Amino acid sequence: MMERPAIIHDAAGPTLLQQLTLRLVAFTLVFAILDIGLVVWTYASHPEALGEELLTLEANRFERSTVLTPHELTGPPGARHWSARYIDPKSPDRGRQNSSGSLMDWTQRERLERGVRISGVRRVERNGQPQWLWMEIEIDSLRPYTPVILNELLAHVALPLIPLLGLMLTFNVLAVRRVLQPLHLAEKEIEGLDPEKMTMRLTEPFAPREVNALVNTVNRALQRLEEAMATLRSFTSNAAHELRTPLSILQLSLERLPASDQRSELQLDVSRINRLIDQMLDLSRADALSFDTSGRVDLADIGRTVVSDLTPKAYAANRELRFKAHGPAIARGHAEAIYRIYRNLIDNAFLHAPGESPIEVFAGPGPQIGVQDHGPGLTEADASKIFEQFWRKDRRNNDGAGLGLGIVRRLAEAHRGSVSVKSSDGSGALFTVQFQQGIFFQADGKKLNNPGL
């Protein structure tokens, strides 16, 4: 029986969450660039507003600074000329007034031969007292406006976008995680699919619709695979049954021929074909699980029957076939299937432990059976492959089709058991089949307190 290959996850591509996050960050960057462009375009279209913001920014900086008098202000970087002083509200040159006669903030922008002059008044608080600060600046480049533009970008671009981006990322993570939950469930169920249990199906989620459609598609594919496997098993079983009749006729016809080496070779070939057909039927029944494994059987009794049936074969091959029971060996299973397990293990010993060495068969202690041969044994590499169906170390050897031990493993698994081999090169091989103990119930549903296992 072929081992299922390990599932390898391809981690090269980004996850859906990573893709959505990258797209969200890209969208935010594009939005930020557009917002920056809008801020720059707004001030470029309204230079008066840029000048107002520049004086307001300088006045705020003066309020926060430790400079005592306005003339100590340095002004914005890159300014060609800068001056500042307090204005007495009661003096005649106190500046522009509102309709009530109070001094008010104002800004004036004048073009010069080289650049512009921006002047104006701002109300500031110094030591808890209101003061009126007059400022004048001459500039001939965009450098003095840099603090204004950066301040606007911080206030109208960075501060709104940072919490917005955080909220969007949080929503993105929560939403994508919820959407991916059905996919994660489907992934776990797919990894748990067993080729030997083709009736298994994936759980169909109600939402999202795309995931539901994907799961439905996988389930329909599994249904088609189950039907194809059933057809194949049916064909194998029917073909094996149909071949028995012509082979029986052929065998009878060969027995009527005069004794010769050629007749002996043909009879040996027919015997091999019959054995192969028996193995195909065993494999078909094991794959279909078309037998009841709940009955109580005595493994020792079955072992004695098998050894008795194969004694003529052992005698013809000048081999000794021994059986020994190591204590009670009661199990739950199907007697005919367990008979086939014994038979295939003993046939394997006949094939791969040639010569006149004995073959030892045992049952117990407990629910286990085993076959020990004294042949050449197995290498570690061969021991890991011998239970694969159709595996043969030497393909040029016509003895057997590589099905016997695969059938043993499949029948053991059908009984919720396992088969193992202990061997080293040159020391023979010991095959052991262990039947797992389980919980059994009577026909009325009551648990058996002492099932005898």
Residue 387 backbone phi and psi in degrees, to 5: -90, 5
Domain with CATH 3.30.565.10 in the chain: 292-453
pLDDT of 306 reads: 92
pLDDT of 431 reads: 92
Handedness of CA 309, 310, 311, 313 (dihedral sign): positive
Q: Which CATH superfamily is domain 292-453 in?
A: Histidine kinase-like ATPase, C-terminal domain (3.30.565.10)
Q: pTM of the entire structure?
A: 0.47
pLDDT of 5 reads: 45
Q: Look-up: residue for tokens 């759980």?
A: 203
State the greatest distance between any 2 C-alpha atoms of the chain, in Å, as a whole number.
148
Walking along the chain (453 residues) 10 residues at a time, the average pLDDT comes out as 44 69 80 79 80 89 83 83 84 53 80 90 86 90 84 78 80 80 82 72 78 85 80 67 73 80 79 72 61 85 93 87 91 89 89 83 92 85 74 54 77 87 79 72 44 40
Residue-level length of the chain: 453
| Cα 197 to chain centroid, rounded | 20
- At 18 the three-state DSSP class reads helix
Q: Which amino acid is at 163?
A: P
- At 363 the three-state DSSP class reads strand
Domain with CATH 1.10.287.130 in the chain: 193-290
* Topology annotation, domain 193-290: Helix Hairpins (1.10.287)
CB atoms within 10 A of CB 173: 13
